[in-house]
């Protein structure tokens, strides 16, 4: 295993990182997207603290949907590899990078990354307790159940940004470990 020289950062919640890694504010990696569905015919996605972003398991027309919007028209469109955030639950891992094209609630935020970010690496990084704790600190609200992480408070947060090849290797390693763990949790 290779070891790296560490250096201190000037970020209060990240004390050290490998010297060749960077800290970039989220706004240098992500831009907010607000594209709306014209007819709501796209796949409806759900954001979960447990599974990240996945297709809804029940159809919109099912009887269980009483009280939901009459139409999915105007829901936000997202594409594979977009970061989707339920802004009221980001502090509780209510966000993730999607593997699917689809639509989500108009109350959610969609962020598209640039070439500096490997989607799966960002998925694992931003769902890590280091970041969810920071999201809670930056969220606004009177009580915990109403804390909201608005874009203007998310985008300035510094993100650990290794070189893209290392991000890819870290993500592949984590995918492998998680798939092994999931065998025992099903």
Give the integer Cα–Cα distance in Å for 4 and 183.
32
Give the integer Cα–Cα distance in Å for 67 and 151.
28
pLDDT at 116: 85
Burial bucket for residue 48 (CB in 10 Å: 0-12, 13-18, 19+): middle
Dig out the tokens for 76 from the structure: 């936000």
Q: Give residue 4's pLDDT band: very low, low, confident or very high (50, 70, 90).
A: confident
CB neighbour list of residue 67: distance below 8 Å, 6 or more residues apart:
none
Q: Give residue 126's pLDDT band: very low, low, confident or very high (50, 70, 90).
A: very high
Counting residues of the chain whose pLDDT is more than 90, the rounded percentage is: 80
Phi/psi of residue 18, each to 5°?
-55, 140
pLDDT at 134: 97
C-beta of residue 115 within 8 angstroms of C-beta of residue 81: no
Residues 109, 77, 46, 140, Cα dihedral to 10°: 10
pLDDT at 158: 98
Q: Is 6 helix (H, G, I), strand (E, B) or coil?
A: strand
pLDDT at 67: 41
Which of the residue ranges 24-28, 61-65, 67-71, 112-116 has the most confident prediction, judged by mean pLDDT?
Answer: 24-28
pLDDT at 66: 40
Helices vs strands, H then E, count in the chain: 5, 12
pLDDT digits (tens, 9 = 90+) for 95-115: 999 999 999 999 999 999 988
What is the average per-residue pLDDT within 141-159? 95
User: Within 10 Å of residue 47's Cβ, how many Cβ atoms?
Assistant: 22
What is the average per-residue pLDDT within 160-166? 96
């Amino acid at each position: 295993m290779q070891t790296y020289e560490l250096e201190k950062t000037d970020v209060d919640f990240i004390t050290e990182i490998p010297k060749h890694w960077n800290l970039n504010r989220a706004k240098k990696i992500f831009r907010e997207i607000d594209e709306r569905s014209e007819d709501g015919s796209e796949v409806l996605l759900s954001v979960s603290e447990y599974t990240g972003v996945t297709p809804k398991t029940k159809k919109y027309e099912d009887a269980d949907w009483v009280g939901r919007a009459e139409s999915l028209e105007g829901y936000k469109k997202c594409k594979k590899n977009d970061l989707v955030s339920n802004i009221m639950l980001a502090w509780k891992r209510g966000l993730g990078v999607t593997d699917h094209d689809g639509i989500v609630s108009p109350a959610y935020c969609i962020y598209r990354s640039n070439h500096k970010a490997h989607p799966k690496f960002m998925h694992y990084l931003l769902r890590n307790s280091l970041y969810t704790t920071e999201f809670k600190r930056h969220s606004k609200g009177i009580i915990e159940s109403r804390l909201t992480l608005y874009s203007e408070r998310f985008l300035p947060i510094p993100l650990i940004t290794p070189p893209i090849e290392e991000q890819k290797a870290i993500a592949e390693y984590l995918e492998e470990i998680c798939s092994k763990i999931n065998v025992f949790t099903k």
